Amino acid sequence: MTATDIVFSGSIPPLYHRLLGPLLFDPYAWDLAARAGALEPAQILETAAGTGIVTGALIKEAPRAEIVATDLNQAMLDVAAGRLMSWRIAFRQADAQSLPFADASFDAVVCQFGVMFFPDRLAAYREARRVLKPGGRFLFNAWDRIERNPVTAAVAGAVAAMFPDDPPNFLERTPFGYHDKARIEADVRAAGFAAIAGETVGKSSRVVARDAAAGLCLGTPLRAEIEARAPERLDEAVEAAAAALAHWDGAEAPMSAHVFSAG
């Protein structure tokens, strides 16, 4: 992981939300929120909440819950707070590896596609366990290997081909770099959770090739990797990515992720 892998600022947050939300995150957000809602929690902590995609689903799927939605990047939370206005949601900037909450404060901790970005995952898992009430659950997901997520794989390959001597690899390295289900389960157990259940969940979403290309190239830290090599080639990268996705345009593309429940 590099320093730019966890920086979501500038124009990235709104592009991330508008272009990648429907493509990648919405289907899994509703899945995770439904699992949380089935627990009937009164107090939910969401870490790595980003632009509030899961937060919005939690409002509907967990109708009794008050939600504290946190993220390291204030710019992402600003987008979330501008979209979601409810007395049941409090937004707070916080590091999941060092949470500013008392022990045993929440019935559930929820994290959508965030654990891959934590430099010290065990610390984040320990913090989730610390703030859970007895009997509480930690619900989170992580992407499966990139090869099982063909839209992202196509974009990663197209951008890498533009820089054969120094290919950008943010997508493979970070969001899709923590895909070994057994390793994740072992890490969570090492953090002190006694019981963990994980399953691989397939979803699909409709692809708009140009939007997907722009979202992944401009709405993620892949943008910083392209700019570090040749800032004048950003538009070219989007075009190359869109061309790589042409055969998916208008079609339903499969996705794969692992979903975990720990307590």
Q: 233-252: per-residue pLDDT in tens?
A: 999 999 999 999 999 999 99
Which residue type is seen at 84?
L
Q: What is the pLDDT of residues 111-164, one digit of tens each?
A: 999 999 999 999 999 999 999 999 999 999 999 999 999 999 999 999 999 999
In this prediction, residue 9 carries a pLDDT of: 80
Q: Are 52 and 69 in contact (CB under 8 A)?
A: yes
What pLDDT score does 135 carry?
97
In this structure, what are the phi and psi dihedrals at residue 156, rounded to the nearest 5 degrees?
-60, -45
- Between residues 1 and 100, the one the model is more confident about: 100
- The yes-or-no verdict on residue 108 having pLDDT over 80 is yes
Mean pLDDT of the chain: 97
CA 201, CA 144: separation in Å to the nearest integer?
9
Between helix 234-244 and helix 150-162 the angle, nearest 10°, is: 140
> Mind listing the pLDDT tens digit for each residue in 55-81?
999 999 999 999 999 999 999 999 999
Query: Which domains occur in the chain, in start order?
Result: 3-262 (3.40.50.150)
Res. 6: pLDDT tops 90 = no
How far is CA 19 from each of CA 22, 25, 45, 170, 177, rounded to the nearest angstrom? Answer: 7, 10, 26, 18, 22
* Burial group, residue 56, by CB count within 10 angstroms (0-12, 13-18, 19+): buried
What are the C-alpha distances in Å from 94 to residues 123, 127, 207, 229?
Answer: 14, 12, 33, 31
The confidence band for 5, taking pLDDT boundaries of 50, 70 and 90, is low
Q: Is the pTM of this model over 0.85?
A: yes
Distances (CA, A) of 223 to 35, 113, 198: 33, 19, 32
- C-alpha distances in angstroms, 175 versus 44, 156, 163, 251? 24, 12, 20, 23
